[in-house]
Amino acid sequence: MSTQKIKVGILGATGSVGQKFIQLLSGHPFFEITEVAASDRSAGKKYKDAVNWFLPTPIPDAIANLTVKNCEPNLECGVVFSGLDANIAGEVEEAFAKSGYHVISNSKNHRFDKDVPLLIPEVNPDHLGLIKVQNFGKGSIVTNPNCSTIGMLIALKPLDDAFGIEQVNVVTMQALSGAGYPGVSSLDIIDNVIPFIGGEENKMETEPLKILGNFNGKEIELSTFKISASCNRVAVVDGHLESVQVKFKNKPTKEEIFSVWKNFKGEPQQYDLPLAPIQPIHYFFEDKYPQPRLHRDIDKGMAVAVGRLRDCNLFDYKFSVLSHNTVRGAAGGAILCAELMKVKGLLS
Ligand code: NAP
């Protein structure tokens, strides 16, 4: 059975996202980790000696004694998941793609390349068509959006399809794990909120326009609705909570919105992919929900929790959305991209 699995490598295997990849890929039916790679600081050591493992489940036995390699395109695998530091991710990922590897990346570097899909499998699976436009020979690059963008867009996509979005304002309360490890110092964040996350607002104001854009067979025509984002770091370990205000081209009733969210399903659900949530959007009618500690793990951490839909004095409606930033917003989202690529024959 395991010989039929696709061999994958993890670039940045020792980091926050890298560890999550290793945890989520343990026992995966499609993929088998055969390589782990990181910086010179880790290369040459056994994985268990190189990593500062901080997840609650143990390092999988099959990974603990693997030797960490350098991030050079001579790894024994066909697919690499990248959780690399953005300072080096761009050039490393390109070198792998040019050498024939399929690269699925969490880093920001290639997200706006014209020929690279910025993919949320339930939202814009047709953008995988861009791979045919790429010039990497047998290799390819697909990127996973910013963690806050993913949660918000899973809630907005079915609304955009049904009613047309005109304007969005979003205020985020983002978890500490989004800053990697060790991240923000305890003295900065205890008893505090930091009203700034470098580069985050720009990502949230630009990535949705590509993701909800139209793929015309050659390129993405960017969507044109307006977004304003304000991003805050809060003392939560995992799970980004966002307050979203939205104005529509055709204002629906609340009941119509509930119905659209309830019925929303995408290709991952149609293909019954291993990491696909059964229901991508869970709506909570209790006023005090959603909450990070209670709802970040719904359906393997891959579903988003939505609540508090209400009238807005400035826009049409406002609501809250919560998603797990290192699962749905990073490693889990990237694995779902790879699962979709696998069933579409794009990883051969
Ligand atoms: P992290 O914990 O700091 O891990 C960075 C990884 O990159 C480590 O494995 C590190 O290896 C490796 N690395 C650093 N410099 C390197 C070099 N010069 N050559 C090769 N490898 C190098 O960061 P993270 O939070 O996992 O984030 C990784 C990427 O995912 C970032 O681009 C980030 O923006 C993105 N992302 C993160 C989240 C999140 O929730 N954390 C969500 C979405 C996207 P060593 O251990 O050997 O130094």
Distance 93 CA to ligand 1 centre (A): 13
Cβ atoms of 227 and 217 closer than 8 Å: no
pLDDT tens, position by position, 139-155 = 999 999 999 999 999 99
Confidence of residue 348 (pLDDT cuts 50, 70, 90): confident
How many beta carbons lie within 10 A of that of residue 242, not counting itself? 24
pLDDT at 151: 98
Q: How many residues are there in the chain?
A: 348
- Where does residue 148 fall: left (phi above 0), alpha (psi -120 to 50 degrees), or beta otherwise? alpha
DSSP result, 45-58 = SBHHHH----SSSP
Instruction: Return d(Cα 264, Cα 307) in angstroms, integer.
Output: 16
pLDDT at 4: 87
pLDDT at 2: 43
Residue of 10, 11, 14, 17 to mutate, ligand 1, most atoms within 8 A of C-beta = 17
Query: Which residues does ligand 1 sit against, CB inside 6 Å?
Result: 12-18, 38-39, 41-42, 71, 83-86, 88-89, 106-107, 147, 177-178, 180-181, 325-326, 329-330
Nearest 5°: phi and psi at 267?
-60, -35
Residue of 16, 45, 296 to mutate, ligand 1, most atoms within 8 A of C-beta = 16
Q: What is the DSSP-derived secondary structure letter of residue 178?
A: G
The alpha carbon dihedral of 166, 212, 207, 215 has a sign of negative
How many beta carbons lie within 10 A of that of residue 149, not counting itself? 31
Average pLDDT over residues 79-84: 98
Q: What residue's CA is closest to ligand 1, atom 28?
A: 83
Instruction: Return d(Cα 47, Cα 65) in angstroms, integer.
Output: 6
Q: The whole model's pTM is what?
A: 0.97
Instruction: Return d(Cα 225, Cα 160) in angstroms, integer.
Output: 10
Q: Which atom of ligand 1 is nearest to the CA of 68?
A: 47
Mean pLDDT computed over every residue of the chain: 97
Query: Exposure of 57 by Cβ count < 10 A (0-12 exposed, 13-18 middle, 19+ buried)?
Result: exposed
Q: Which two tokens stand for residue 342?
A: 């696998």
pLDDT at 181: 85
Average pLDDT over residues 272-301: 98
Distance 106 CA to ligand 1 centre (A): 9
pLDDT at 1: 42
Residue type, 297: D
Instruction: Return d(Cα 318, Cα 78) in angstroms, integer.
Output: 44
Residues involved in catalysis: 147, 240
Cβ atoms of 27 and 1 closer than 8 Å: no
Q: What is the DSSP-derived secondary structure letter of residue 1?
A: -
Q: Which atom of ligand 1 is nearest to the CA of 70?
A: 20
Average pLDDT over residues 110-123: 98
Q: 317-323 and 240-248: which strand pairing?
A: antiparallel
Q: What residue's CA is closest to ligand 1, atom 9?
A: 12
Distance 221 CA to ligand 1 centre (A): 31
Confidence of residue 339 (pLDDT cuts 50, 70, 90): very high
What percent of the chain lies above the pLDDT cut of 70? 99
pLDDT tens, position by position, 82-103 = 999 999 999 999 999 999 999 9
Q: Domains of the chain by range and CATH?
A: 6-146+331-343 (3.40.50.720), 147-324 (3.30.360.10)
Q: What residue's CA is closest to ligand 1, atom 41?
A: 178
pLDDT tens, position by position, 47-57 = 999 999 999 99
**CA-based diameter of the chain, in Å?**
59
pLDDT tens, position by position, 182-231 = 899 999 999 999 999 999 999 999 999 999 999 999 999 999 999 999 99
Cβ atoms of 107 and 195 closer than 8 Å: no
Cβ atoms of 81 and 47 closer than 8 Å: no
Residue type, 171: V
